[in-house]
Amino acid sequence: MGESGAGKSTLLSILGGLNHPSKGKVIVDEIDIYSLTHEQIATYRSEYLGFVFQSFNLVPYLTVLENVMLPLAISDLKKKEKEERAVTSLERVGLKKKIYRLPDQLSGGEQERVAVARAIVNKPPIILADEPTGNLDTKTSREIMELFLGLNNERQTIIMVTHNPDNTKYANKKIVLNDGKVVNGADKT
């Protein structure tokens, strides 16, 4: 958490291997991710991370199913297995009946759920979520947070940026940033 401009989204992009830190290291499972080649960082992202972007980043000309399958593009899975995984992820977020729609045929909440399904399709140990409930109504926000809680209970780590203090009740830890620095990191508050 933190004010606008505090460095929350920058921190997520650094953890995700998208932007180099100005100093320090990012080490995940004893891997210094910024010592990796571009190809190795891509593999790291594919094996370790699921991303939920603030603006969804759905490809407008791909169906919901195709959007969710994107993280599996570089996997060795057969097309049928990729489709099955995508359908399972969409079922988990309540969108199984809309798999052949295009993103612009969905509500904002449905687009967010597609973004979450895409983030979990490759079963990553870490999900990075940038304001995943920022554009959603209260009911849909609660559903997304409950889904994240369920994933966390299944041993997936969720690192989420949020402005919404209600979302912190789902957290095990809360870290507050200000001007790119941690000003408060404590157990659940």
pLDDT along the chain (189 residues), means of 10: 86 90 90 92 89 87 96 88 94 92 91 92 93 82 89 92 87 88 65
| Residue 126 domain boundaries | 8-187
Alpha helices, H only, 28-183: 38-48, 64-69, 79-92, 108-120, 138-153
Residue 1 lies in a domain: no
* pLDDT score, position 129: 93
3-state class (DSSP) for residue 184: strand
Q: At 126, list the tokens.
A: 């870490």
CA distance 46 to 102: 24
Whether the full predicted model's pTM is greater than 0.95, yes or no, is: no
Ramachandran area for residue 146 (φ above 0: left; ψ -120 to 50: alpha; else beta): alpha
Residue 2 lies in a domain: no
Domain harbouring 167, CATH code: 3.40.50.300
Give how many domains the chain has, as a whole number: 1
Within a 10 A sphere around the Cβ of 129, how many other Cβ atoms? 24
* pLDDT score, position 4: 82
Residue 177 lies in a domain: yes
Residue 63 lies in a domain: yes
Residue corresponding to tokens 């041993």: 155
Angle, alpha carbons 187-154-164 (nearest 5°): 45
Q: Are 119 and 50 in contact (CB under 8 A)?
A: yes
Q: Are strands 126-130 and 49-52 parallel, antiparallel or unpaired?
A: parallel
Tell me how far the alpha carbon of residue 124 is from its chain's centroid.
Answer: 10
Residue 151 lies in a domain: yes
Ramachandran area for residue 185 (φ above 0: left; ψ -120 to 50: alpha; else beta): beta
* pLDDT score, position 134: 79
* pLDDT score, position 103: 95
